[in-house]
Chain A
Amino acid sequence: MTFYRCVLTAIFGLAMLSTATAGEGLVDPGRAGYVEALKGKTVAFLPVAMGFDLAEGWAAGLRETMKAAGGKLEIRDPNWSTDAGAQALTSLISEKPDLIVVHNPDVQSYARLIKKAENTGIYVLQINMRSSYSSDGYIGADWKAVGEAEANAIVRRCGKGTGTSGKVAIVQGVLTAATSVYQIQPILDVFAKHPEIKVVSNQAADWDATKARALTATVLQQNPDLCGVISFWDGMALGSSAAIREAGKTGKVFVVTNGGGEQMACNNLASGSFDDYVSFDVPRQASDMSDMIKVLFQSKLKPGQIKVSLYTPNKILTKETFKPDACWSMKDLPKD
């Protein structure tokens, strides 16, 4: 009897002991390395400017990641000046943050500086607009796919069997920006396969809605039977849709454009100012960047050792099918 009691007590005791261990939990073997790799790290962000939806969205995402990991984010705002941007990048290289996220104003200007940053031991990621030099990572829109999606939207609305004139106007941004350079050819390639589409105007409006409005108004006078407009950026497309609305042709002349999918895009889809919208989903890009940063810091790779591209999948929003929650809002971004 006593023997059994002893055995039972022993078993019971062991059971208690193991439950206690289970209650206290186990140590996640991967976490320490992760925390260690990210703690105290500095990421610098150099957009072409702050104060517009894309840059604010990216900065908010990066800030959140770095704050949670116990590191910090520094922002340099060159405010659309390529010179100021190059200077900021030069001074960043001597300040030696652990990683720089660069948003290139054009394909050439920062190329050598980015290479130099990598040589001095700083990881460099490029966001949305690539320079001619590929660094550790590119995260951003696949402009070829954006162009093709826009061209296909036009073909669907103005192509064979739609009973329209097939006339299209293209409004580009600044001609030297990566966006314009990589976007135009895929569009023309798609149109080449659809001879019924005629490009009646192909001009640049410098990302400016006022210029785009004047340009579109003139094209509409020239071609009252215009079927569609491709505008290379949503902020500029507002000008084209203003001209179309003024001519009383909203819904007859289709506006196809692209952008970061901010609330303004959904508002304009709802009001009929835009018909098709290719969104490269800024919050998703911010989280792709964050993931890439975490991977690099844990990998112990040397800067410049790998060249990775993460193209953001396009979200195609059309007037008829988009859902009101498809957009994100700049107003809801956390401040600092």
Chain B
Amino acid sequence: MSGLSGVQAMLSRFGGIRPSQQNIVLAIVVVVFAVFSLTLDRFFTSGNLLSLLQSVSVLGILGVGMAVVVIGRGIDLSVVAVMAIPMAWALNMMAAGTSTLVALGLALLLAVLIGILNGIFIAYVEVPALFATLAMGAFVYGFGRSQLFNQDIVFLPQTAPWLSAFGRAYVLGIPMAVLVFAAVGLLGFLLLRFTRFGRFFYLMGDNYLAARITGIPTRPMIVLQYALSSTIAFVAGFVTAAAVASMNTRIANSTLIYDVILVVVVGGIGLSGGKGGIRNVVIGTLLIGILLNGMTIMDMRYTTQNLIKSAILLAAILVDSIVNPRDEQTAQQGDI
């Protein structure tokens, strides 16, 4: 312990700035950004920076949904399946002749329903969030692929060209995906900061039992959290489908979910809940975006890129546990 407190003491000497994980990661972001700007040709151009943001927008949107849940001391591993399956179902219905609005509406309903089911399992049946949402993700994928449609990749039907036009659109020179990320982030920020629900989420994450004794309707609040993260996941699916004119359902089995958790954790939202905000998601997303963009420019091999990404995750988690050691009073059984 003395070694750790030594490191802590050393870190806290940094000219008055609290060495919270958020600040450490922010510093990494600034340094990496500066290094790339100086060393990589054409990195620091508005075009490149916008395309950098655009390519991580979907990740950021999913991160906002995940943040809402994680702050309330939960986790939602079904977000990637919810992003892929309802939207793919909508595209499939559109291809079969259903009107676009009806198809999208039904798909959104499905997404919200999945979130509510997640919430009910976790809040009322008291299944740990990790297992409930893991199983739900697999169920949603299997149900969608076997009952709703039987294609692996559903292509945007030619009858809805406006959807891909939406994906290509720029407003004031900013790509649509970035704007949607900004909007979702802003709404998430307003919710967490200025509404009663938001405050409840923090309190529940900080100390669930105390929150419950105080009279906070914790169970409905949990259902609300998961419904929100599912809805946000659906928005991410919409943006994805619009951007690449197709929905690849195979993504539900990919490692994207780890990237979402990475964005949230690296940004400094502790998995034990009650901490952090949308700012952290933005910082985490920026870090991943800058790294991916820089490594692509350097034409680095895919496996090397994964190595660097995971090394950074490990480093962030290590720093977090040194700077913010586990608190015996609030740490509970069942913590992730």
- Asked if A208 and B254 sit within 8 Å, CB to CB, the answer is yes
| Binary contact readout B154-198 vs A (1 if CB under 8 angstroms, 0 otherwise) | 010010000010011000000100000000000000000000000
Interface residue? B150 (CB, 8 A):
yes
Q: Chain A, interface size: which category?
A: 35 or more
Residues of B within 8 A of A175 (CB): 302-303
- Asked if B244 and A242 sit within 8 Å, CB to CB, the answer is yes
Q: How far is the CA of A204 from the CA of B301 in the complex (A)?
A: 8
Beyond A210-B248, A218-B48, A221-B45, whether A235 also contacts B55 by CB under 8 A is no
Q: How far is the CA of A217 from the CA of B297 in the complex (A)?
A: 11
| Binary contact readout B291-315 vs A (1 if CB under 8 angstroms, 0 otherwise) | 0110011010111000000000000
Nearest Cβ on chain A to B81's Cβ, whole angstroms = 13
- Asked if B251 and A210 sit within 8 Å, CB to CB, the answer is yes
- Asked if A214 and B251 sit within 8 Å, CB to CB, the answer is no
Interface residue? A203 (CB, 8 A):
yes
Residues of A within 8 A of B278 (CB): none
- Asked if B243 and A221 sit within 8 Å, CB to CB, the answer is no
Partner-B contacts on A (CB < 8 A): 49-52, 79-81, 175, 200-204, 206-210, 213-215, 217-222, 235, 238-239, 242, 245-246, 264, 267, 330
- Asked if B297 and A222 sit within 8 Å, CB to CB, the answer is yes
Q: How far is the CA of A87 from the CA of B253 in the complex (A)?
A: 19
Q: How far is the CA of A238 from the CA of B164 in the complex (A)?
A: 12
The 3 closest A-B pairs by CB, nearest first: A214-B55, A51-B152, A221-B48
- Asked if B244 and A239 sit within 8 Å, CB to CB, the answer is yes
Interface residue? B246 (CB, 8 A):
yes
Residues of B within 8 A of A215 (CB): 296
Beyond A208-B248, A217-B55, A222-B42, whether A264 also contacts B155 by CB under 8 A is yes
Q: Chain B, interface size: which category?
A: 35 or more
Residues of A within 8 A of B243 (CB): 210, 213, 242
- Asked if B152 and A52 sit within 8 Å, CB to CB, the answer is yes
- Asked if A218 and B52 sit within 8 Å, CB to CB, the answer is yes
- Asked if A218 and B251 sit within 8 Å, CB to CB, the answer is no
B residues 30-64 in Cβ contact with A at 8 Å: 41-42, 45, 47-48, 51-52, 54-55, 58
Residue of A nearest to B155 (CB): A264
Residue of B nearest to A239 (CB): B244
- Asked if B299 and A203 sit within 8 Å, CB to CB, the answer is yes
Nearest Cβ on chain B to A123's Cβ, whole angstroms = 28
Nearest Cβ on chain B to A250's Cβ, whole angstroms = 10
Residues of B within 8 A of A238 (CB): 155, 244-246
5 contacts between A and B (CB under 8 A): A222-B42, A242-B167, A264-B155, A267-B158, A330-B151
Q: How far is the CA of A245 from the CA of B164 in the complex (A)?
A: 10
Residue of B nearest to A214 (CB): B55
Q: How far is the CA of A264 from the CA of B303 in the complex (A)?
A: 31
Nearest Cβ on chain A to B54's Cβ, whole angstroms = 7
Q: Which of A208, A209, A217, A264 contacts B51 (CB 8 A)?
A: A217
| Binary contact readout B229-273 vs A (1 if CB under 8 angstroms, 0 otherwise) | 000000000001001111010110110000000000000000000
Q: How far is the CA of A123 from the CA of B185 in the complex (A)?
A: 57
Residues of A within 8 A of B152 (CB): 49-52
Nearest Cβ on chain B to A214's Cβ, whole angstroms = 3
Residues of B within 8 A of A220 (CB): 51
Q: Which of A50, A80, A202, A245 contacts B299 (CB 8 A)?
A: A202
